[in-house]
Amino acid sequence: MSVRNHSFVTAFVIVGFPGLQPEFYGLASTVLFLVYCCILIGNVVVIILFATHNVLHKPMYFIILNLVVSDVLFSTTTLPKIIARYWFQAGAISFFGCFLQMYLVHYFGAVTSLLLLIMALDRYVSICFPLRYPMIIKNSTIHILNVTAWVLAHLPSLSLVIRAYPLPYCDSNKIMQCYCDHIAITTLACTDRVPYSFPAFVVAMVVLLGPLAFIIFSYCSIIVAVVQIASPQGRLKTLSTCSGQLIIIALYFLPRCFIYLASNIGIRFSTDLRIVVIMLYSLLPPMINPLIYCLRTDEIKQIMIKRFRRIQVHVQ
Q: What rounded mean pLDDT belongs to the chain?
A: 86
Does a structural domain hold residue 3?
no
Does a structural domain hold residue 316?
no
Residue from 255, 250, 244 nearest 295 by CA: 244
Identity at 88, one-letter amino acid code: F
Does a structural domain hold residue 4?
no
- Quick: pLDDT tens for 262-301: 766 767 778 888 888 888 888 888 998 888 887 777 788 7
The answer to whether residue 250 scores a pLDDT higher than 50 is yes
User: For residue 316, what pLDDT band results from cuts at 50, 70 and 90?
Assistant: low
Does a structural domain hold residue 1?
no
Based on the structure, what is the number of domains in the chain? 1
Q: Look at residue 135 in the predicted model and tell me its pLDDT.
A: 92
pLDDT over 70 percentage in the chain: 95
Does a structural domain hold residue 5?
no
78 vs 100: CA distance, rounded Å: 11
- CATH code for the domain of 286: 1.20.1070.10
Beta-carbon count within 10 A of 46 CB: 24
- Quick: pLDDT tens for 146-201: 999 999 999 999 999 998 898 888 878 899 999 999 888 888 888 877 777 778 87
Q: Look at residue 232 in the predicted model and tell me its pLDDT.
A: 79
Does a structural domain hold residue 190?
yes
pTM of the model: 0.89
Does a structural domain hold residue 207?
yes
188 vs 167: CA distance, rounded Å: 9
Lowest mean pLDDT among 1-5, 39-43, 116-120: 1-5
- Quick: pLDDT tens for 100-153: 999 999 999 999 999 999 999 999 999 899 899 999 999 999 999 999 999 999
- Quick: pLDDT tens for 223-233: 888 888 777 77
Q: Look at residue 5 in the predicted model and tell me its pLDDT.
A: 42
The answer to whether residue 2 scores a pLDDT higher than 60 is no
Range of the domain at 124: 11-311
Does a structural domain hold residue 6?
no
Decide: 36 and 282 in contact? Cβ < 8 Å.
no
